[in-house]
Structure 1
């Protein structure tokens, strides 16, 4: 994945059950995989609660772009997501 599609300071992003990243599979450790699995679970939770596939992206954006203060990143584990806050 070209760098221009991944926000600066992030390993990638999760869309439903897919982790989009520029990392090689050997660079994805168990902690990062766990972090992204939680995002997958968040995505499905809000889809099931609302019935709308776009619910989680809207809520995520509303939580703010500062990962260290974003409630979804905090819930997924900042350290596991490789954030330095």
Structure 2
């Protein structure tokens, strides 16, 4: 297999297998959240919190965007979806 064929195969695998694009570890998640905050207007920390919440719950963006304060029981830390 030549160089471009190997790269094509890798790209094809990533498109067909979404887990291939997953962030590898916790530190990378925090780095992504921090970069988003740094790039946002007035460095709004809430954007980073959304990234970490989504990563920690493994929820899809539609569920995360619809989450309200009352949906989370902070006594037992249960999110009612």
- The structure with the largest helix share of the pair is 2
TM-score relative to the length of structure 1: 0.30
Q: Determine which structure has greater relative contact order: mean sequence separation of CA pairs < 8 Å that are 6+ residues apart, divided by chain length.
A: 1
Q: Which has the larger radius of gyration?
A: 2
TM-score relative to the length of structure 2: 0.31
- The structure with the largest strand share of the pair is 1
